Structure 1
Amino acid sequence: MTVPQTKTHIFQTSFGKMIALKENGVIKAKSIRYARSERFKRPVPGKPLESEMIFPHKTPVCPQTISPLVEKMIGPTPIENFEPDESTQFLSVFRPETFTNHEKLPVVVWIHGGSHEIGCGDLPTSDPSEWVREQQIIVVTVSYRLGIFGFLGGDENRPPNLGLFDIIEALKWIKTYISDFGGDAENITLLGQSSGGDAIAHLMISEGIDGLFQRVIIQSAPLGLRHTRQKMSAEFLKKTEFLRGEPDALKIADEYRKQVPAVIKYGLKAAMPFGTQYGFPPLCQENKAIDTWKLKAGQYDVLIGLNDNETAFYLKTSDALNKYFGKGIGLKILDKAVRKTTEFIYGKPAEEFAENYARAGGNVYLFRIHSKSEYHHIGAAHCIDLPLIFGNEQAWKSAGLLKDIPWSFVHENGIKLRALWAEFARTGNLSATSERPEILMIRKVEF
């Protein structure tokens, strides 16, 4: 086993002096505060540092509750390494150690998923070090407010879309300061998975984002759940009003779960009770969203897609469902439910997005990640793209998602996928001669 060789590195930036870690060919400047906020208020940009910034002992994270499903399918959360912080506007910069002062490296900004409710920018399972080292790119990971703190509102006391405003502030910081780290401020790609992809799709049509990024990679965005959420959000807002003045943020994160909308009343969209809200800044009205995306067609290169068995992550891992549908005709019914819900939530919306964008003259690629029959535990389920993009075998060793899948298979396909995504981040295009992973289907959408 190789012991990581860790040293320090000093970044002298116009934001201030930062002491970073240098480890196995990658320099990490972690937990840089890009903004601050008061509860239910818009973020205020961070001020340049008055003293040097030192790598923190614990990673700041928005107050949240642990998801048993995520613990089972992705791995245990090392809660002792995290510090709850209601003002969760932090980012981390990962840069190759091998670098010349004349280089300007392409920049990828990672917007994490988690149903707009859980997660943070700096998790071991999404540490981008392997990708940074292999492809000579800079990756910036962003943390932002989640759940009741960032994605539920409807009035002046509790404005909606605060998580989006946080990300916009992060992008402004990156645009201003990334050149100090060797990044190209004119070549920035947003990469998001699940609700992170949803956030990116809506950042494309947000006010105040002109010039902040040039292309986007949207993975497994639940765009099928974006419609007609207003009544559900208003009910949820009203039911959680009693928590507005509660001083204990962890208590808020625990208590709001008792008030979430019912699936029986609101359908599948209630499975993701938090989300971007149309008709409030920085977003347009819902009926104008598609036309607004079309207006952006000449502005951003787009790579969008999904995994072929997304909802197996939820349906095929349910002990209750497996009890009745785990074999025989029941399994066929369950497989059909996975196909139907995957297409409704992820597949058809991604295709429609890509086709509308292409018809409007946009540069767009559409992809699907498949599974191999010999490793078909639950198929190419939600989040299967994460170990492909980030690698990190040690972080994924206990993941139920990868049960019976050899890491060599993940690694071989991951190297090719990381190279392909980095090519798109550099140029906005994919060469027909570039090597594709065997589990990937991808095409340029043209009309």
Structure 2
Amino acid sequence: MDARSIIAKLRREQVPTSKELTWFAQGLADGGVSDAQAGAFAMAVCMGGLGAKGRADLTVAMRDSGDVLSWDFDGPVIDKHSTGGVGDCVSLVLAPVLAELGAYVPMISGRGLGHTGGTLDKLESIPGVSTQIGQERLTQILHETGAAIVGATGQIAPADKRLYAIRDVTATVESLDLITASILSKKLAASPEALVLDVKVGSGAFMKTLEDARNLARALTETANAAGCRTSAVITDMNQPLAPALGNALEVAEVMKVLTDTHYTPLAEITAELGGVLLADAGMYATADEGRDKITDVIRDGRAAERFGHMMAAVGGPLQFVENWVRFLPEASVILEVPAQDTGYITAIDGEALGLAVVALGGGRQVEDDVIDPAVGLSAIVRLGDKVEKGGPLAVVHASREDAAQHAAETILRAITIRPDAVMAPVLVHERISS
């Protein structure tokens, strides 16, 4: 078996066998496959596709190229993944809720790259928090708190890490088969018994149309279920930021408002929807609606906030963070309110442009090793359908310099459309997909 014959097979539009894909994945992980061969493989998959079985075989092969975690807990191990959006801090709310209801949540997450924020970066805006921990400590934390949000070690799906870097420079990122294998190889390496996928669609998401989002959701659910993990997807709207803030510390502040306030927000609603589906798939509740109601109860009675505090303390955060989160989160030195230029209704929000504005402020990465400023970002962002008066606030910029704040303000004015006539706000949940 060799790389050339596998690539040639793909070139003839023949799908390699599971053994061949396993061999290739191991070659990616241990260097037996060259960069040129990896690039040719990615291009051949991008051009010809793998089909449902080949996609599942590649996913499992990439998962098995490194460590596959195992657990011995007295409750189900479950997880959630989002395809990425702006103002999307659901994981920080959902993980403690699921733990409070008796599940175990080893949530291996990533950092921000592009216009979407990274869950790990958000958590690390809390003083002292470290998300890079070994498996032994991860297991200990899960026994103590029921949930942990951590970064992947170098031994989790190393084939994906290698292939992703190749895809980035060979214009093959958009392949549905490779996207699916990349997402799921890392998630399935944590060995969840049930998984819910939050597939975002809209101006602030990678998938701009419902058809593209639906295709991705189906590919993900079919593949994960074929790999033995009970999985459903929920297509949710990202035509505006989910939370009214973008930026690491500012999004943590929105999480704390949800956990410590009874006010029901879109962030809380999406959390309950995703969690309800997941709890039903895990067999913890009879229906997704019943699970959703339980999640809402746990948020409103304060148990989720208490659990979140235990989670943060376990990874180095302040012991009294929940009680004093306003004092602990970093603040930017420049605060600038952005006034509306007209009176009217908010009819469109370019979420990707807002996300990139935060990156330009220093709140995200343009390249992988950029250092993030956790305090910068946007807050108090208007929502679709809101009426605004001329001179009224569209958003508030948090920056480290006056010139950066002014540049962000100009971006906001271009990204938010005001029209005389009102529009209906989009639904938050478009559809559920189960395989």
Question: Shorter-normalised TM-score: what interval?
Answer: under 0.3
| Greater strand fraction, Structure 1 or Structure 2 | 1
Higher relative contact order (CA 8 A, sep 6+): 2
